[in-house]
Amino acid sequence: MLLAVAVGVAWVAGDGDVLRASAAFVAAARHAAADLDGLTGALTRAAFVGRFTAWLAGDGPGGSLLIVRLADLAGLNHALGRDGADRALRLIGELLLAYPERVRDCLVGRLNGGDFALCLPTPGLAAETAATLADTLRQALAPFGAGVQVHVGAVEFGRGAHASALFASVDLALAHAEAEGDIVVDAATASPAPGGEGAWRRQLAAALDDRRGMLDASPVLDARRRLVHLDAPLRLQWQPQGGHDAASRWLPLATRCRLTPQADRLALALALDAIARDGVPRAVRVAPASLADGDFVAGVLQMLHERSQRARHLWLELPERAAVELFDTVQRFASLVRPLGVRFGLGHGGVRLHRLERVEELGLDYLRLDAALCARAANSAAARDAVRAAALLLHTLSVQVLAEGVVDDADAAVLFEAGVDAVGGPWAGRQQR
């Protein structure tokens, strides 16, 4: 833009009015600078949204919109100092600004704080670009320490899309990524989203208030094909007459809107009701964010005390990353529920087990190995060795080892041979038919 301004100045100066040319140059330069974020050089939010909206009004074939979020910027300012956090932001800006240097009509903006937007004017590139960008960010930000986390959300869109709907869709994809932790990519296809996140929040809150939920019932079996428990994730009915949606749709928004305590309380109540009907053990997952709510913990304890016989058939778990990041909180929660007969464990486990230096102090009854580790056990010696090592360590601590997401017979057989005590996933579901 400044090059174009300079050319214009030369033309005006050639006409002999040097003073007018200088004034025009200064005014244009100030206008250009006002469109740019002073720290990173990306477009400001207003400039990005304005240009993006104008671009959408054209007749292009569509494109991809990505949001990159540097998580917990306030915490990073405290941990790294303002200069350190600014260096991380500048680095993200530099990496993103490499795209418009190579791609015509590409836009990069800093929306606010740690949020950056990237618009690619070519459809079909959202997932690939997001994955590449996440990998690049992972390597570039590693020197800043483990506390620096970045999430990437992406959305594809076609001709005639509206900016508000696209931002709502990519925000939902970003919420999915945030719910998983670490550097995670979540790509989605744009779809109408009237009202955006505000409307979703109202629908979600109404569904929870009205207790419009049901539990899945996926079996977990031991090596002799005996039922250990039923995995019972919560499904919610967004619309009173609609179907029940899996947590993959509503949990990220519940996390963002701080509604996980209500959702987890509903899931626990439904699980205890189901146990009362048939006596079959149920496993319910609790979101880490719920533990920060004192009313949630107090409500859970009261519920378990009032239904003490049923509580003995309840399995409660948190994701393994929660134990890494919130060790003391998770340990205290375990110390409160286990004396009531509840079996307590960690899910999506094994990946960060090496970072749990005091795993013996957590008070675990079980750990559920992540599907990413278990799904390739039959074809990967490294995966088999990792499972075997984890099982040996955990069994030494009297912790039961489960496996999640197991699909085929070969993987199930290898996992049992490696020391896994019980298996869940499509394989277990087929054994029950």
Averaged pLDDT for residues 237-245: 83
One domain for residues 176 and 206: no
Domain boundary, last residue among 149, 174, 192? 192
Tell me whether residue 232 is in a domain: yes
25 or 263, which is more confident?
263
One domain for residues 52 and 184: yes
Tell me whether residue 118 is in a domain: yes
Domain boundary, last residue among 173, 192, 211? 192
pLDDT of residue 197: 59
Interval 247-289: pLDDT, tens: 766 776 787 678 999 999 999 999 999 999 999 999 999 988 8
Residue 306 reports pLDDT greater than 60: yes
Tell me whether residue 29 is in a domain: no
- The kind and range of the H/E element at 108 are strand 107-112
One domain for residues 109 and 219: no
Please, what is the angle between helix 18-34 and helix 2-14, to 10°? 170
Q: Hey, which residues does 267 pair with through a beta bridge?
A: none
**H helix count then E strand count, the chain:** 17, 16
Using pLDDT thresholds of 50, 70 and 90, give the confidence band for residue 181: low
One domain for residues 261 and 184: no
One domain for residues 183 and 202: no
One domain for residues 183 and 213: no
One domain for residues 105 and 232: no
Residue 183 reports pLDDT greater than 60: no
Tell me whether residue 6 is in a domain: no
Tell me whether residue 75 is in a domain: yes
Tell me whether residue 156 is in a domain: yes
One domain for residues 240 and 322: yes
Query: What does pTM read for this prediction?
Result: 0.65
Interval 119-164: pLDDT, tens: 988 777 787 888 888 888 888 888 888 678 888 888 888 877 888 8
One domain for residues 175 and 244: no
Query: What range defines the domain where residue 46 resides?
Result: 40-192
Tell me whether residue 30 is in a domain: no
Tokens coding 242: 């609609």
Tell me if 220 sits within 8 A of 229, measured CB to CB.
yes
One domain for residues 381 and 411: yes
CA–CA distance, 28 with 382 (Å, rounded to integer): 60
Mean pLDDT of the chain: 83
| Short-list 216, 230, 214, CA closest to 432 | 230
Number of domain units in the chain:
2
408 or 366, which is more confident?
366
Interval 45-67: pLDDT, tens: 998 998 898 888 777 778 889 99
Residue 31 φ/ψ, nearest 5 degrees:
-65, -45
Percentage of the residues of the chain whose pLDDT score is greater than 90: 43
Domain boundary, last residue among 167, 192, 217? 192
Tell me whether residue 7 is in a domain: no
Alpha helices in 151-233 (DSSP H): 163-180, 196-209
CA–CA distance, 262 with 169 (Å, rounded to integer): 24
Instruction: CATH number of the domain at 276, please.
Output: 3.20.20.450
205 or 179, which is more confident?
205
CA–CA distance, 231 with 213 (Å, rounded to integer): 15
Residue 4 reports pLDDT greater than 50: no
pLDDT of residue 186: 54
CB atoms within 10 A of CB 150: 22
One domain for residues 238 and 210: yes
One domain for residues 286 and 421: yes
Alpha helices in 355-425 (DSSP H): 371-374, 381-396, 409-417
